[in-house]
A and B are shown apart, each in its own frame.
Chain A
Amino acid sequence: MIPELIVDIVSGVFLAIGSFFLVVGSLGLLRMPDVFTRMHATSVSDTMGAGFLILGMIIQAGFTLVTVKLLIILLIFFFTGPLTTHALARGALAVGLKPVLFDRNGRKRAKEQKLVQEFGVVEVRDQPPARPTDPARAEKKAAAKTRKPAKSRSRKSAGGKSSGGKSPGGRGGSSSKR
């Protein structure tokens, strides 16, 4: 029969690959900016991570009842992953969540916006949405808006300029006002 060392090595390699994909998927879940992209990141750990982990355990188990149970778990994963993702995406769209189509500096991502407009799922906003994840920054932005309401409009018309050129101008304007 197959020597045990080879079985251990092969199953260990599969377990290592599965662990890697699991951690990568969870990191994506933590780092991504949006519900939809977070779902995308989760699918990595649901398919590749779980698949490789269960494959490694199947190789370790051999032809037993344990293998059948592991295959049942794998089957459940393969059917429930797309199902829950689909339900989540439809629910999020029905409630009115929209994909974030701006990068970190507030610039538009032209390719994604064009793609979304072609699909016609959501209308594309001109303004980056307020970030609910960062309360300190939201408070600061709200305070700035109450202080000078015309400033935000001028920043919007400035559009794709670099943020480094914009912020000293805004600071100078506020000091001159004071």
Chain B
Amino acid sequence: MMFAVAAFAVLVSLGLAVIRALAGPTVFDRMVAANTIGNGAILLLAVFGFLTERPEFLDIGILYALLNIVGTIAVLKYFRYGDLGHRGGEEPSQ
């Protein structure tokens, strides 16, 4: 029973994050919201696996967590340096 409540809470949190992702004025607001959506999706997968008594969903959750971090860092790097192949490092200014 509590798993259903938890799944509903995760869905509510995902909905609020989607609103922020649609409304966010800057790209960084959208990235914060996208990160939250990814984490919520992982939690939703885990809770749904327990709800239906199929814990195999956890593997998908782990995979999704790894993809989420890579995607967030890639988008942030693109918006900071304008190029995914940038060598990184500190800019002289700022």
Which of A's residues lie within 8 Å of B, judged by CB? 8, 11-12, 15-16, 18-20, 22-23, 25-27, 29-30, 35, 38-39, 42, 45-46, 49-50, 53-54, 56-57, 60-61, 66, 69-70, 72-73, 76-77, 80-81, 83-84, 87-88, 90-95, 97, 132-133
Contact = CB atoms under 8 A, between A and B. Distances in A.
B28 A19 contact: no
A19 B2 CA distance: 10
A29 B20 contact: yes
Contact of A38 (B8, B32, B46): B32
Contacts, number: 147
Contacts of B5: 15-16, 19
Contacts of A30: 16-17, 19-20
The B interface is mostly helix, strand or loop, or mixed, namely helix
A125 B36 CA distance: 31
12 contacts: A16-B6, A22-B10, A22-B13, A23-B9, A26-B12, A29-B16, A46-B39, A53-B46, A66-B55, A76-B65, A84-B35, A95-B80
B82 to A, nearest CB: 11
Nearest to A90: B80
Contacts of A76: 62, 65-66, 69
A133 B23 CA distance: 8
Q: Size range of the interface on B?
A: 35 or more
B68 to A, nearest CB: 7
A73 B46 contact: yes
B52 to A, nearest CB: 13
Contacts of B76: 84, 87-88, 91
Given A80-B65, A94-B94, A19 B58 contact: no
Closest 3 interchain pairs by CB?
Answer: A19-B9, A12-B2, A26-B13
B13 A25 contact: yes
Contacts of A95: 28, 79-80
Contact of B25 (A42, A53, A60, A132): A132
Contacts of B32: 29, 35, 38-39, 42, 88
Contact of B33 (A11, A29, A49, A56): A29
A143 to B, nearest CB: 21
Given A26-B12, A70-B58, A91-B80, A97 B6 contact: no
